[in-house]
Amino acid sequence: MDTEKGQTFEFQSEVKQLLDILVYSLYKNKEVFLRELASNAADALNKMQFEILTEPDLADKDQELKITIAIDKKHGKLVVEDNGIGMSQEELIGNIGTIAHSGTLDYLKKISESPAKSQVDLIGKFGVGFYSSFMVAKEIHIVSKSWQKGSRAWLWKSRGESSYTIEETEKAARGTRIELFLKKEEKEFLEIQRLKHIILKHSKFVPFPIYLEGEKIERKDAIWTQPKSKLNEKDYADFYKFLENTQEEPETYLHLSSDAPVQFTAVLFVPKTSFELLGLMKSEPGVDLYSKKILIQKGSKDIMPEYLRFVKGVIDSEEIPLNISRETIQSNVRIDKIKKHVLKKLLEHLDGVKTKNRDQYLNIWKNFSKNFKEGAVSDYENREKLSQLLLFASSKTGADQLTDLKEYVQRMPEGQREIYFLGGSDRQAIEKNPALEIFRKKDHEVLYLLDPLDEFVLDHLREYDKKAFKMAESADIPLEEKADTADAAYLQDAENLVVYLKAIYGEQVQEVRISRRLTDSPCLLLNPADGPSVQMEKIMKMVNKDYQLGKRVFEINPENSLIKKMVALHKQDPAMPLLKTLALQLLDNMKLREGILSDTEATIARIQQIMFEAAVPPRTDMGGPA
Ligand code: ADP
């Protein structure tokens, strides 16, 4: 629809809902709108700085890049202006009237309904920063002119309801001017002292001068160019808060500088929360690449491996040519060297946290274990360091404790050569697995893999400290011969039962054999050497329903009283129908335990048959205890 001057546009319906959430429920801490405007202005200035470097014959290239804030008390107006790249008409429509990330709205809704809403500072995280100005303004005008040659200037107007208008206007210089017509009750944002306080609180690291009513506000210098000895914890925390538009402290940080073989400085942070874990979107890379304090790439994909996308911070190197194009960053040898070096140090730092402060590391693990596992399977070069970072439940840790591989190896008794693991849905289920009996007996530790990903990870890593990972359910674990307590004649009878069972089971199993590892349970299903575990196979079956489960090895324990009975029955009469029923049920019980039983109806019928046989009428010739 065209009005006499401008053109009217509807906001995306999502934007309308977002505005409602922002204005009426989500946000108590309204002052952050200024932080968002300053940060948008700084982004626009950063981009301009980059353009000036790469296109030297740009007009106005000697202008000071800056942010100015002006107060117009008479009209109740606050104005934030920058001489950054500005926006064309299309950019105004594309950037301001939409929400960048799908899922943002749902997430914000959820947060706004939760009791902790006032503690969460999310505005800057989701590309909805600009809208936060509607918390304090009843109407907003954006006057913007793109830096591109021949651009025209545009006036964007909205009352934050359902629509906005755009019309052509006059503006001499490139850049963006945001005019907030404040609500009656928000006039405090016209007070110089109040504004100055907000800027110092939230925006002191903005890398461009900020002028408030003509006066330059003292800013902090880029933290990474200062010597470590001059900085304290609070400086780092403040910088992190600035960088991430948050009020949350970082979990841990690392400040590096190097002169050889490549020059760089880096300040890196691990956050206290994981946004991926909260169920939102995949995080974007969080480390910005600078060259001599000039931003070359925000959230660079090329300076950190993808699995470390949760790491925030900056890397600055004077060896990166200022006019490097974004496409060639990837193939730049120096950047690659820096990347390797920083990565090594960061992984070592995390390992250090794990050793020195386990509680802190447990929080990092809670948030980012998935990322470390992703790294362990994808980053071949650093797999040793990444496997150091992994934690597991284990047969030798308490119920809520975790161990790392180094500690496991230190506990290994003489003679143990491999690192054993066993998967399952929870600790209790794993501990009931008869496969563990022999490990208990020999006092060999077994890692409990509670996350289905873990088996993939160990499968990929193959070994740690030259010790191969080995599934405790594997059929080919080197075990001592079990001392023969049974007499030779009985063992022969048991072997005969083995032959009988194999004939009954046919293709259902690969092999039936006498167990050398069971101490209590009657029987056990094992994995043929190096075959995937049942847990893994179940996943494969979910992915591909035609997947055929591998055949397994069935072991019986001749010392077990049920097996003893079956040996006796077999010796008495191998054709006895009950023996066959028991044999089939023995295998089905194991399948049931592993969750791979397919013909439940047949099993139920068989159990009922066994119940019928067992339901002997009570004997009257024997009394109970006196
Ligand atoms: P975010 O900054 O998180 O992307 P915003 O809603 O604050 O989300 O801004 C949306 C987009 O509008 C920005 O990504 C940017 O492209 C554009 N924009 C906002 N402010 C400015 C500005 N002062 N100069 C140029 N572009 C801007």
Identify the residue whose C-alpha is closest to ligand 1 atom 19.
40
Q: Is the dihedral of CA 424, 426, 429, 433 positive or negative?
A: positive
For the chain, the structural domain boundaries read 7-216, 223-365, 390-471, 488-615
Q: Which pLDDT does position 57 carry in this prediction?
A: 76
Please choose from 43, 48, 121, 143 the residue to mutate so as to test ligand 1's pocket, defined by most ligand atoms within 8 A of CB: 43
Q: Which amino acid is at 592?
A: L
Phi, psi (5° rounding) for residue 188?
-60, -25
Q: Please report, for residues 21, 126, 276, 277, 281, the alpha-carbon distance to residue 113 in angstroms, rounded to integers and kept in the order given.
A: 10, 18, 20, 19, 19
Beta strands in 399-551 (DSSP E): 419-423, 446-449, 463-464, 467-471, 509-514, 523-526
Count CB atoms within 10 A of the CB of residue 486. 16
Q: Which amino acid is at 146?
A: S
Cα 355 to Cα 553: distance, rounded to the nearest angstrom: 41
Q: Please report, for residues 356, 378, 438, the alpha-carbon distance to residue 336 in angstroms, rounded to integers and kept in the order given.
A: 30, 17, 49
Q: What are the beta bridge partners of residue 202?
A: none
Beta strands in 480-603 (DSSP E): 509-514, 523-526, 552-556
Q: Which pLDDT does position 331 carry in this prediction?
A: 79
Pairing type for strands 446-449 and 419-423 reads: parallel
40 C-alpha vs ligand 1 centroid, how far in Å? 5
Q: Which pLDDT does position 204 carry in this prediction?
A: 82
Cα 256 to Cα 346: distance, rounded to the nearest angstrom: 9
Q: Which pLDDT does position 340 carry in this prediction?
A: 94
* pLDDT tens digit sequence for 523-578: 999 998 777 888 788 888 888 888 888 899 999 999 999 999 999 999 999 999 99
Contact of 38 with 140, CB cutoff 8 Å: no
Residue 274 DSSP code: -
Contact of 217 with 199, CB cutoff 8 Å: yes
Cα 221 to Cα 531: distance, rounded to the nearest angstrom: 58
Ligand 1 near 36 CB (within 6 A):
yes
* Contacts for 402-409: CB closer than 8 Å, 24+ residues apart: 402/362, 402/365, 403/447, 404/354, 405/464, 405/465, 406/465, 408/445, 408/447, 409/464, 409/465, 409/467
61 C-alpha vs ligand 1 centroid, how far in Å? 22
Count CB atoms within 10 A of the CB of residue 422. 23
Q: Report residue 167 as tokens.
A: 């019309």
Q: Which residues of the chain have pLDDT under 70?
A: 1-4, 23-28, 59, 97-104, 107-108, 110-128, 278-281, 323, 326-327, 480-486, 619-626
413 C-alpha vs ligand 1 centroid, how far in Å? 61
Whole-model pTM: value is: 0.79
**Is the preceding omega at residue 434 within 30 degrees of 0, hence cis?**
no
Question: 488-615: what fold?
Answer: Four Helix Bundle (Hemerythrin (Met), subunit A) (1.20.120)
Cα 517 to Cα 525: distance, rounded to the nearest angstrom: 12
Identify the residue whose C-alpha is closest to ligand 1 atom 1.
127
Ligand 1 near 129 CB (within 6 A):
yes
Identify the residue whose C-alpha is closest to ligand 1 atom 18.
40
Q: Which pLDDT does position 260 carry in this prediction?
A: 83
130 C-alpha vs ligand 1 centroid, how far in Å? 7
Closest CA to 368 of 390, 399, 349, 385: 390
Contacts of 20 (CB under 8 A, 6+ apart): none
Contact of 38 with 210, CB cutoff 8 Å: yes
Contacts of 405 (CB under 8 A, 6+ apart): 387, 388, 390, 392, 419, 464, 465
Please choose from 40, 47, 126 the residue to mutate so as to test ligand 1's pocket, defined by most ligand atoms within 8 A of CB: 40
Residue 533 DSSP code: P
Cα 496 to Cα 50: distance, rounded to the nearest angstrom: 82
* pLDDT tens digit sequence for 409-461: 999 998 899 999 999 889 998 999 999 999 998 899 999 999 988 999 999 99
Contacts of 93 (CB under 8 A, 6+ apart): 9, 166
Cα 185 to Cα 183: distance, rounded to the nearest angstrom: 6
CATH class of 223-365: alpha beta
Closest CA to 164 of 106, 103, 94: 94
Ligand 1 near 510 CB (within 6 A):
no
Cα 542 to Cα 617: distance, rounded to the nearest angstrom: 47
Ligand 1 near 143 CB (within 6 A):
no
Ligand 1 near 29 CB (within 6 A):
no
Ligand 1 near 82 CB (within 6 A):
yes
Q: Which amino acid is at 417?
A: R
Homologous superfamily (CATH) for 7-216: Histidine kinase-like ATPase, C-terminal domain (3.30.565.10)
Q: Rounded mean pLDDT of the chain?
A: 88
Instruction: Give me the count of residues in the chain.
Output: 626
Q: State the Cα angle at 448 between 447 and 450, rounded to 5°.
A: 145
Residue 286 belongs to what H/E stretch?
strand 286-291
Q: Which amino acid is at 433?
A: N
Contact of 154 with 145, CB cutoff 8 Å: yes
Question: 390-471: what fold?
Answer: Rossmann fold (3.40.50)
Contacts of 418 (CB under 8 A, 6+ apart): 467, 468, 469, 470, 477
Contact of 571 with 618, CB cutoff 8 Å: no
